[in-house]
Amino acid sequence: MGLQELCRLMSRFNSYKRTNIILQHLKMSNHTDAAAEVLLERKGCAGVITLNRPRFLNTLSLGMIRQIYPQLKKWEQDPKTFLIIIKGAGGKAFCAGGDIRALSEARNTNQKMLQDFFREEYILNNAIDSCQKPYIALIHGITMGGGVGISVHGQFRVATEKSVFAMPETAIGLFPDVGGGYFLPRLQGKLGYFLALTGFRLKGRDVYTAGIATHFVDSEKLGMLEEDLLALKSPSKENIADVLETYHAKVINKMSPTSLKITLRQLMEGSSKTLPEVLIMEYRLSQACMKGHDFHEGVRAEGNGIPPQCSCLENLRDGGALWAAVCGITQSRTRLKRLSSSSSSVLLGLCC
């Protein structure tokens, strides 16, 4: 073999070697991209699942399901893992559902993928429901379809003012799956039926009020909540629930104590009065509020976007005495005379 022929063979070998390296790199790159769709980390006392497809609103793919399920089962058996947290990356969505575009595209090319996706997704839903470790879903942002399936079956679901919940499957020729037939009819009244048939979106605090979420937390405090959960030392379910309750924002705590007490008494009194009598009562209450502190403070705070500094009524525990104090009248005058339902009689009463 001549030198020229040897050089030609070496050149071909080097070219083949470079091509092989490039192919290996591409395979590694594809694997890395797939792995990055979901982040599985041990942090403090918890296993943390981060859905990491923010560009696609963290839609759930088969590859993500196949990574989450085995890790969930491992953490469930791990004595050093005391809770599991699942959240979405990007701030806009927790999980906007399953990757329906990929499913539709697989119709003519990969029928097995269609079977595998739904079967393994439902297995994951059931595993979350039966998980022996406290499972906390931070459903901040869009939470729909498949995203509901990996959150609503957990023990704790934390909504924020930016949460958007929906089961919109009937709009795309599907049905509200991922256990929708279980949790939707168990919502109060017929709300679940309405959500399933219309795809109606619940937003913010309504997600909690409807029973989808177990807690409501202001989004600006969500990071602190997660840090406090991770910092727990060998926590029990009760310890975890206590932390969540500490952050749970109760609307009533933001209201004027004066307004809360007189409103409760207003409704109790109004339940047995005629409309004219109620209007007379409410006129007197309105004038008492105009002379008080909380209304003007509330308007000022609302305009400046800050919490109001309302009056403290810790020492006024008797509803009757409070009612008389706010109205500026004695108990003997709170009993209103019966008037006819004519508008002139109402006006006459308001002027009394």
In order of 101, 176, 221, 263, the CA distances from 307 in angstroms are 45, 40, 16, 20
Q: Which of 121, 177, 226, 294 is catalytic?
A: 177
Instruction: Tell me if 276 sits within 8 A of 346, measured CB to CB.
Output: yes
Residue among 249, 246, 174 nearest 204 (CA): 249
Instruction: Tell me if 243 sits within 8 A of 233, measured CB to CB.
Output: no
Percent of residues in the chain assigned helix, strand, coil, to nearest 5? 55, 10, 35
Residue 75 neighbours by CB under 8 Å, 6+ apart: 47, 81, 84, 133
Q: Which residue carries 């500026």 as its tokens?
A: 328
Instruction: Tell me if 160 sits within 8 A of 109, measured CB to CB.
Output: no
Q: Is 90 a catalytic residue?
A: no
Instruction: Tell me if 250 sits within 8 A of 209, measured CB to CB.
Output: no
In order of 8, 17, 25, 303, the CA distances from 47 in angstroms are 56, 41, 30, 43
Count other Cβ atoms within 10 Å, centred on residue 242.
12
Q: Which of 88, 146, 180, 349 is catalytic?
A: 146
Instruction: Tell me if 83 sits within 8 A of 105, measured CB to CB.
Output: no
Q: Is 169 a catalytic residue?
A: yes
Instruction: Tell me if 265 sits within 8 A of 334, measured CB to CB.
Output: no
Q: Which of 169, 226, 277, 294 is catalytic?
A: 169
Bridge-based pairing of strands 156-159 and 135-139 is: parallel
Q: Which of 88, 98, 192, 349 is catalytic?
A: 98
Q: Which residues form the catalytic set?
A: 98, 146, 169, 177
